[in-house]
Structure 1
């Protein structure tokens, strides 16, 4: 119905602008830090690297919440399909922040928040994979890619709540976005393996 589509579009636009709010940049400004240093990425990992672990954790939690809360509200107020749209919009807003002239983070924490809202047990698996890889390798980017691969496999093969096809496409899309945002890390890893 036209009204339903209008709600979906407006909700997704709101999600995009909420997702675009970048806690890393706000914290860096308050702490007089420069996120152009380190990896140059305005996200939780680089914040922790440059400003300290507690600030990185704070940014990570806020990034998770800005994916979780709008998606959860869309699920409660509307339906699962609208929640998928809002969650994806939050992730895209984080990556292409309108407040940072199209720059943004890699979308890992915001993706985790959105997945937790609509596919909570998928997020538990992702966290488990992330934790294991970090513990073994101390490589956050590799752990993020591994968690995204876990999401991709779950989206293709695991049971899904209705609408099943939409959920599978959504989960796979989120996973591929996160993996794509780590293409440089993947290239570096492959280059070191091929030496």
Structure 2
């Protein structure tokens, strides 16, 4: 199977089937508060993972998991995770409806392609916003003017350049320890 087939056929088809099976319908609320809908969303997520599996892009194969494995992983998952360090350390932990704890705010282009010439200034803009708790990386369109090609040695250079650029941007914003 190819990544394209997985992304554009397998996942959307499974999501539609599972949405219908679990009667998932969102109303006006951005965040569901109806306990029954919340439970169905959870069951749908588990169903999606168990029935679809996890695609390994390197091997082109699907890793199948059982419901017991999913539930064991959830039970054994850490209850809280420390992100970042020093003054930029935040704790990622479960929140329930109407929680008094503020949510973790992530800033960044979330995997989108970004021009090399604006990469550092853009990430600096995200990092200098006090409301942003963590940074989500993007993909630099070119490295030294050369388009980044996946599955090549150049991809390693591109990844290292992206990491350095994001770290530089965060340091410029006075937040060298923010989680990325």
Superposition TM-score, scaled by structure 1 size = 0.30
Structure showing greater Rg:
2
Query: Is the helix fraction higher in 1 or 2?
Result: 1
Query: Is the strand fraction higher in 1 or 2?
Result: 2
